[in-house]
Structure formats: C-alpha cells, structure tokens
C-alpha cells in the first residue's frame, strides 16, 4: 500500500490525519520505536512519553529524528492534554490513571497492531496463548518457507509487526500477547488460534475470565478459528457461520494424535500423516503445537508435504526446554521462557518421576502457584527458589517437597550441582516473570547457560 492509501485507512478508521491529529506514543521500547518510525514516515504529528529517565531507544531516536519531542522520567500531563490519539505500548497497563483520564476526555486509543492492519493487504495469521505461541509462530513460518512462500514472522516475538511491513511479503504470521489484543480493534486474521490458556498476568487482569476475554480477541473478524479442544478455557461461543478447526491430543478433533500399529502419529481428520517420533521437539505440549501449526497451515493452503518436512527439521527455540549440557550424568535444561505456571507444568511433564531438581521463582504476577503441587510431588526431588516471590511460592507449595530459598540464580545452580544425582535433570523453569532480577527471560536463560558451562571447567 502507498502512504496515501495508509493515511486514508487511518482517517477512515480512527479519524487520524496529518492536519488535525496529535499522537502520543507511550513508552519508547521496541514497540514504541516501531510506531515512531511508522508515524514519522507518514508525516503524522507525534510525541513520545516514557516513565523511565533513559528509555532503551532514546538516543537512537534523537539521532534519527531530532525534530520529535521525547518526554522522559514520567508521563507528562501536558502531552496527554493536547493529544487526540495515543498508542500505548503493551508493557504499559491501560489502567494507568493518566491513560484512563485521557480516554475519559475522548483521546482515541490505537495499538501498533491496528496501525499494522491499516497498512497491509496480504493475509495475516494471528497466534496467541499462555504458552507455545512463539513455537507455533516460528514453526508455521518454517512451514510457509518450505512451501515457497515469502513470509514475514514477528509481532510479540522478535520483530514488531510494523517493522514487518514489506511489499515483498505474501503472508504475515504474528504472535500476539493479551496486552496487544486488549487494545486492538482492526485485526481480521485469515486464521486465528488460542493455543491454550492458563493463569497468567493476573497482576494486570481482574481475574482469569478477563484474561480469557482478551485472548479470544484473536478471533475478531471472519477468519477461520483454530481451537484447542483439550483446554477448558479455550472454548468459544458460536459466531455466525465461522469455520472452526479443532486440535487435541486427548479427544476428538480435526487435528489429533492417532494410535496406529506403527505407533502414535499426527493425524488430520482421522488420517495419520506423520509419526510423532519424527518430531525433534519433545513432549505432549509440542505435539499440540505441531497440530495447531498444521491446522493454521491448512487454512492458508500450505501443502501437507511441505508442512511435514518443516516439522521433521524444526529444532525448537532457545530458552524453551533447551538442553544445555550433561555433566557427571546429570542433564541441565534451560526453560527460562516458562514465565507462568502452565509453562512450568508443561515442562515438568516431559521428565520421569522424582528425577528433577527444579529452579523456579521470580515475579509470580499474582498467579496461584499451588497448581504446581501435583507435579512437584511426582516429578521433583528438590525445589530451589530464586527471586522476589520465593516466599509466596514456598507458602503455596506448603512443604510438599524439600524447598530451599537461594535468592539468586548463581547460588541455585551451585546448590543444584550438590543435590543432583546420576540420571537426574536440573531444570530452570521459573513459572515466573524475570524482571525482578533480569532484563528479560533471555538474560535469565543466558545466565543459567553460562553458570552451567562454568561447572564444566
């Protein structure tokens, strides 16, 4: 689309134009920077506010766009007072008082995904869920590439949606968080999926029903709805004549796991297409991820052979049940991406009983950690806690197994080496966010890998 086409779409959908509109971009992180580039290219008036004194991209933006006003060290009221529109980055709660006041005055909220939707014509696949969305997003991207498609992959994962925009792209595949979905109104994906839902981000939502409601906005529009039949929270209300594809490993579904004389197989409408053992990614949760990707791929016309080829070569992502090393017959596994209870539960299910030394903890985001108890009792021999909510976790698990509060990841790794015995696995699967002690889950995972490799020296 040309800039004029995009401006027409923005004016039509949001009354956003060059002459009369003033946009405040809230937060100068990765998303905020992508929004700034986009607005600047279109010649729209905007300013940026950030509560941090030195946002990560402050110097970069000043160097590239010296004419743009940036207000840091707090949310400047005067900026909001003159704004007609605002783009609030996903990391900032819409419940911030100054944002609520702006909404009450009639300032229109737009998301980066809304801007993206007004600027593209190619089909979009949208993927959300508490866990597995990065895996399914990248896996589907690999399937599309194997089929010869020019595909752009990103969103909440990796490259922000607005930076994916390209005249070359034939297809967009977006990972979307609940924070992105809650402030988005223009998305109409050709296929959308809620992979699963477990308690997460309850520090930002009143209850799990509110969280579920935001997740299900991925189904906005008239595209195909891909639904997890195994997840009690993923049920959907009938929506007109919408086409629905289901996936599951535990019951009837369009895409499922089938028992055959040769073993378990991924199946489509009761037809086995590929042995489960051909997958390089392990665990029942990854079988579900594979089924979801197959269902989404079928909607956009990807050949089954290309999808199966991609499945056979897909090795998974870093920080997601990533094997690090085997030292003295003890395996060390990095699952730092497990930022909620459901992800930790999924990881623990991969290991044999009473064989895991689990390192967990961080920012619990008000989640109920007692959901870990059943698997702690069967899979884990010792729980080593780190981070600010360690006492909350300790109380929740109620001494169902041996618990040690170590405080830091470095101390936990050293203690795990003392406890682990031949055949055991030391698993970093925090069930918590990382921002209490780290920049993000990647930094936490990288430190774990570094500390483990230091044990080999």
Catalytic residues: 133, 156, 201
- On whether the CB atoms of residues 79 and 47 are closer than 8 A, the answer is yes
Strand order in the sheet with 425-428: 322-327, 330-334, 425-428, 356-360, 380-386, 402-407
Q: Distances from the Cα of 5 to the Cαs of 1, 160, 187, 188, 304, in angstroms? A: 6, 21, 18, 18, 36
For 165-169, which contacts have Cβ atoms below 8 Å and span 24 or more sequence positions? 165/116, 165/119, 165/120, 169/120, 169/122
- On whether the CB atoms of residues 107 and 94 are closer than 8 A, the answer is no
Q: Which residue has the tokens 């930094």?
A: 443
Compute the distance between CA of residue 310 and CA of residue 291 in angstroms, rounded to an integer.
Answer: 13
- On whether the CB atoms of residues 38 and 115 are closer than 8 A, the answer is yes
Q: Could you tell me the two tokens for 453? A: 């490799």
Where does 147-265 have alpha helices with state H? 161-164, 178-182, 208-215
Count Cβ atoms below 10 Å from residue 384 Cβ, excluding itself.
26
**Residue 151: strand, helix, or coil:** strand
Compute the distance between CA of residue 363 and CA of residue 312 in angstroms, rounded to an integer.
Answer: 36
Compute the distance between CA of residue 42 and CA of residue 119 in angstroms, rounded to an integer.
Answer: 11
- Nearest one of 173, 188, 107, 100 to 141, comparing CA atoms: 173
Q: Could you tell me the two tokens for 342? A: 């459901």
Q: Distances from the Cα of 259 to the Cαs of 228, 249, 313, 350, in angstroms? A: 19, 11, 23, 20
Compute the distance between CA of residue 301 and CA of residue 143 in angstroms, rounded to an integer.
Answer: 11
Torsion of CA 339, 337, 258, 196, to 10 degrees: 40
Q: Could you tell me the two tokens for 47? A: 């300013």
At residue 38, what are phi and psi to the nearest 5 degrees?
Answer: -65, -50
Helix (H) or strand (E) holding 425: strand 425-428
């Amino acid at each position: 689309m040309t800039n004029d086409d995009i401006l027409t779409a923005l004016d039509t959908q949001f009354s956003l134009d060059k002459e009369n509109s003033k946009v405040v971009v809230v937060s100068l992180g990765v998303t905020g920077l992508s929004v700034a580039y986009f607005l600047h290219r279109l010649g729209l008036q905007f300013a940026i506010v950030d509560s941090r004194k030195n946002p990560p991209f402050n110097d970069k933006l000043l160097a590239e766009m010296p004419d743009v006003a940036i207000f840091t060290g707090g949310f400047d009221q005067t900026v909001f007072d003159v704004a007609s529109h605002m783009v609030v980055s996903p990391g900032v709660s819409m419940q911030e008082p100054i944002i609520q006041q702006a909404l009450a005055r009639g300032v229109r909220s737009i998301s980066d995904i809304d801007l993206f939707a007004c600027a593209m014509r190619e089909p979009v696949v949208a993927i959300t869920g508490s866990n597995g969305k990065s895996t399914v997003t990248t896996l589907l991207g690999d399937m599309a590439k194997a089929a010869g498609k020019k595909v752009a992959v990103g969103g909440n994962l990796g490259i922000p949606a607005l930076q994916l925009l390209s005249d070359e792209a034939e297809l967009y595949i977006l990972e979307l968080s609940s924070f992105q979905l809650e402030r988005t109104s223009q998305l109409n994906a050709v296929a959308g999926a809620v992979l699963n839902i477990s308690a997460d981000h309850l520090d930002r939502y009143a209850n799990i029903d509110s969280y579920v409601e935001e997740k299900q906005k991925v189904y906005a529009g008239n595209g195909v709805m891909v639904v997890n039949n195994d997840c009690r929270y993923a049920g959907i209300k009938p929506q007109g004549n919408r086409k629905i594809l289901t996936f599951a490993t535990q019951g009837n579904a369009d895409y499922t796991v089938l028992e055959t004389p040769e073993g378990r197989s991924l199946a489509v409408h009761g037809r086995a297409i590929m042995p489960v053992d051909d997958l390089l990614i392990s665990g029942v949760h990854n079988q579900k991820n594979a089924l979801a990707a197959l269902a989404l791929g079928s909607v956009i016309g990807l050949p089954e052979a290309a999808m199966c080829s991609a499945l056979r070569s897909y090795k998974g992502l870093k920080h997601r049940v990533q094997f690090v090393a085997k030292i003295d017959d003890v395996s060390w596994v990095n699952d730092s991406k497990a930022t909620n209870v459901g992800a930790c539960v999924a990881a623990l299910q991969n290991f044999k009983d009473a064989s895991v030394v689990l390192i967990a903890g961080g920012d619990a985001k008000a989640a109920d950690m007692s959901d870990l108890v059943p698997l702690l009792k069967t899979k884990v021999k010792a729980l080593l806690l780190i981070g600010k909510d360690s006492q909350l976790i300790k109380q929740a698990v109620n001494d169902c197994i041996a618990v040690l509060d170590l405080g830091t990841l470095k101390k936990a790794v050293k203690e795990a080496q003392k406890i682990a015995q031949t055949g055991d696995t030391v698993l970093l699967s925090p069930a918590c966010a990382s921002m209490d002690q780290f920049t993000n889950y990647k930094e936490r995972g990288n430190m774990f890998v570094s500390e483990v490799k230091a044990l080999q020296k």
